Structure 1
Amino acid sequence: MNQLKEALRGNRYPGRGVLWCRTADGASLGAYFLTGRSPASKARTLRHTPEGELIVAPTQACDHDHLRHYVAARQSGDLVVFGNGEQVSTVADRLGSGAPPASALDGLDYEPDPPIFTPRLTVIADGSRAWFGAARRSGGGRSATNRLTLQVGDLEPGEGVLMTTYHSNGHEIATGAPFLEVGIDADGPRNLLDELWESLPPQLRIAAAVFPPGGLARSDIRQAAAAPV
């Protein structure tokens, strides 16, 4: 098992990522982060809405881009849902209609952004368990979606599960590994945010957030630069 720092520092372009973990002091926490290369990707911010959602929004007035601007985390009863696209709202709505987590994650598709076809990553979590969903394009010649659902329970302090959209050696970019089990050095949300932020490529950082289940309003958020309101 690699430490979180090692896993991220060995990835020259992680894209977007989701993490569910227990910190060294035993706290269960979720995290979401954004990295980007283009000016349009970098012109984004993570912020709360009056409804208590965590959204990825543009830093200045522009047309809505459904691949770049979306609800990144939403509460659904005792469950928090977070991920890298519009599917977060879809999954939260399904949970609100009574669907169990595995069913709520079913039927999702990867993003229509050739040539890489970015995976859609989604996490549903409560205080003790998490369900990860990844909708990925086939690595072969098929255009069909491969859907991975992973239930994670009984993490020990200092353990976590990480998914990233991409993996890069600095020259080539591919879709990320289905999932990585990682070690967590930090204790508490603020230190976890520090550990996560310091592990991301500095020139690609956009934003990151750490939150407890049921506590989106208490998210710790870090931005690469002050963003216009």
Structure 2
Amino acid sequence: MKPISLEKEISSVTYPGRGIVIGRSADGTKAVIAYFIMGRSENSRNRIFVETEDGIKTQAFDESKLIDPSLIIYSPVRKLDNKTIVTNGDQTDTIYELMNEGETFEESLRTREFEPDGPNYTPRISGIVKCSGGVMEYAMSILKSADGIPDSCQRYTFMYSTPLQGLGRYIHTYMGDGTPLPSFEGEPTLVEIGNDDIDTFAEKVWNALDEDNKVSLFVRYIDIASDTAESRIINKNK
């Protein structure tokens, strides 16, 4: 599979929904994570990312306009020892808690299904990055309905050991706009990560997102040798 430009892939779809990018910088020293949220409704667009002690959480920008927090308020990113968890819902907490008890990433997600928001049945997408002893590895997962039929949950886990420099994978909830919204299909897309500094990379991803629908972006660069990290947050609501 030939890698494609991350910016072009993101900008090719007006409404990818929520998206996760994980990869390795071109110089091989950094694990790169990006997570973005988009919104079509006022409730979905009324959000910002804020930092927490071990990651980030979503929060209503204007509390007076918050209608239903059930699927839009959660912690997308949490850190557990040398592992960074990133997801599009409250399964972040499920993974954190069950892995802390000794379960694996995949085992933790067996306790969850896609979101109960028919007729879309939005997939739950998740990722995890581990940096240990100067070695990086990561995995991604998607839990989705069987072509919109909620009686069946399809579970896919993709694992990437010693990822190649300058490359990553991109997974998102929807293949594009529609009614109902069509779920992501196939393996996470192979994309070029490049060797930009964190601010340049964050700006490129943010600018690639549809101007009307983008809401917030989180980017983290993790030094693979030391497991130290720096992060950036961009919110449309300010």
Q: After TM superposition, is the score higher than 0.5? A: yes
Gaps of 5+ in 1: none
Alignment partner, residue 20 of structure 2 = 18
The count of aligned residue pairs is: 224
After TM superposition, list the pairs within 5 Å mapping 1:61-76 onto structure 2: 61=63, 62=66, 65-76=69-80
- Alpha-carbon spacing, 1:187–1:166, altered in 2? closer, same or farther (3 Å): same
Secondary structure at the aligned position of 1:190 is classed as: helix
1:147 and 2:155 are equivalent in the alignment: yes
Aligned-residue identity in percent: 24
1:209 corresponds, among 191, 213, 218, to 218
Alignment partner, residue 196 of structure 2 = 187
Contact 1:23 1:192 in 2 (8 A): no
Q: Distance in 1 between matches of 2:5 and 2:179?
A: 23
Q: Distance in 2 between matches of 1:140 and 1:202?
A: 28
Deviation at 1:186, TM superposition (A): 4.5
Q: Which range is displaced more, 4-13 or 63-72?
A: 63-72
- Alpha-carbon spacing, 1:171–1:65, altered in 2? closer, same or farther (3 Å): closer
**Structure 2 counterpart of 1:205, one-letter code:** K
- Alpha-carbon spacing, 1:169–1:89, altered in 2? closer, same or farther (3 Å): closer
Secondary structure at the aligned position of 2:212 is classed as: helix
After TM superposition, list the pairs within 5 Å mapping 1:22-61 onto structure 2: 22-26=24-28, 27-49=30-52, 51-61=53-63
Deviation at 1:124, TM superposition (A): 1.2
Contact 1:102 1:131 in 2 (8 A): no
Q: Distance in 1 between matches of 2:196 and 2:26?
A: 5
Q: Distance in 1 between matches of 2:177 and 2:78?
A: 33
1:100 and 2:104 are equivalent in the alignment: yes
Deviation at 1:149, TM superposition (A): 0.7
Alignment partner, residue 138 of structure 2 = 130
Secondary structure at the aligned position of 2:106 is classed as: helix
Q: Distance in 2 between matches of 1:109 and 1:84?
A: 12
Deviation at 1:47, TM superposition (A): 0.7
1:2 and 2:9 are equivalent in the alignment: no
Q: Which range is displaced more, 168-177 or 193-202?
A: 168-177
Q: Distance in 2 between matches of 1:21 and 1:169?
A: 26
- Alpha-carbon spacing, 1:40–1:79, altered in 2? closer, same or farther (3 Å): same
Q: Distance in 2 between matches of 1:6 and 1:98?
A: 39
Contact 2:121 2:150 in 1 (8 A): no
Contact 1:2 1:183 in 2 (8 A): yes
Contact 2:43 2:68 in 1 (8 A): no
Gaps of 5+ in 2: none
1:92-143 Cα distance to aligned partner (Å, 9 max, x none): 1011111122322323200000111100011111121111111100127462
Alignment partner, residue 171 of structure 2 = 163
1:165-224 Cα distance to aligned partner (Å, 9 max, x none): 0121679841123321111234232222112111111111111011134556x3211111
Contact 1:12 1:170 in 2 (8 A): no
- Cα RMSD for the two superposed structures: 2.0
